[in-house]
Amino acid sequence: MSGLFVSLEGVDGAGKSTLAHHLRRRFEEQGREVVLVREPGGTALGEAIRTLLLRREEVVIDPEAQMLLFLASRVQLLETVILPALDRGAVVLSDRFHLSTIVYQGIAGSLGEERAVRVCSAVLGERRPDLHLVLDLPLELARERRGKEVDRFERSEEFLARVVEGFRSTSGLPGDRIVRIPATGAPEEVARLAGEEVDRVVA
């Protein structure tokens, strides 16, 4: 059985973690090994980069350097966790992947979509998810669901509005399979829709 690589994407508060847990249960019920990872993070290096990016506000990070740190965390995760898991035939569910870089650093940030696409493409090549599930949610609802966690990226409403629009408009890297799912419904309904999309890829 070959592995399956799915990334879950969307604005902060869209419900990715909840969906990840639903999908994990669904695959485990089918008897498959599921590996759940989050970005940035998921490895010792990745967690150190995560702390640097999200928590160490006294460390000034230029936007281009920031994008490369997200990518460094991603490459470490790919090489040490994701690709070995896919080789074993596991299902890998990643809470964010390169669409987040394209949207947050590229479209909503200062680098521009084209630059982010070029760099992600050069770094990742074909080491990419088989499917990107984008949870689409109006900004007001995402804000309500988001709660109070504070990090360096406590972003302006304008930035987050660009993030929501960016996830709607981007086609990612050439060849990416992106499916947008309305995330306004109950978690079980969102999970059902997501499960149908995953089945289409597996079939």
Smallest separation (angstroms) from ligand TYD to the CB of 30: 26
| DSSP alpha helix (H) spans, 78-156 | 83-87, 98-100, 113-124, 139-146
Residue number with CB closer to ligand TYD (21 or 32): 21
Residue number with CB closer to ligand TYD (8 or 91): 8
> Could you give the dihedral angle defined by the CA atoms of residues 141, 91, 94 and 187, in that order, rounded to the nearest 10 degrees?
10
What is the layout of strands, in order, in the sheet containing 131-136?
34-38, 91-95, 4-9, 131-136, 178-182
Could you tell me the two tokens for 191?
Answer: 């999970």
Smallest separation (angstroms) from ligand TYD to the CB of 187: 15
Smallest separation (angstroms) from ligand TYD to the CB of 100: 4
Smallest separation (angstroms) from ligand TYD to the CB of 71: 8
Residue number with CB closer to ligand TYD (12 or 113): 12
CA angle 99, 49, 39 (to 5 degrees): 30
- Residues in the site for ligand TYD, rule: CB under 6 A? 12, 16, 38-40, 54, 70, 95-96, 100-101, 104-105, 153
Smallest separation (angstroms) from ligand TYD to the CB of 118: 15
Residues with Cβ within 8 Å of 138's Cβ and at least 6 positions away in sequence, in order, are 164, 184
Gap between the Cα atoms of 196 and 20, Å rounded:
14
Burial class (CB in 10 A: 0-12, 13-18, 19+), 175: exposed
Task: Using CB positions, name the residue nearest to ligand TYD.
Answer: 104
Residue number with CB closer to ligand TYD (143 or 177): 143
Smallest separation (angstroms) from ligand TYD to the CB of 41: 8
Residue number with CB closer to ligand TYD (30 or 51): 51
Gap between the Cα atoms of 166 and 38, Å rounded:
20
Residue number with CB closer to ligand TYD (12 or 176): 12
For residue 40, which amino acid is it?
P
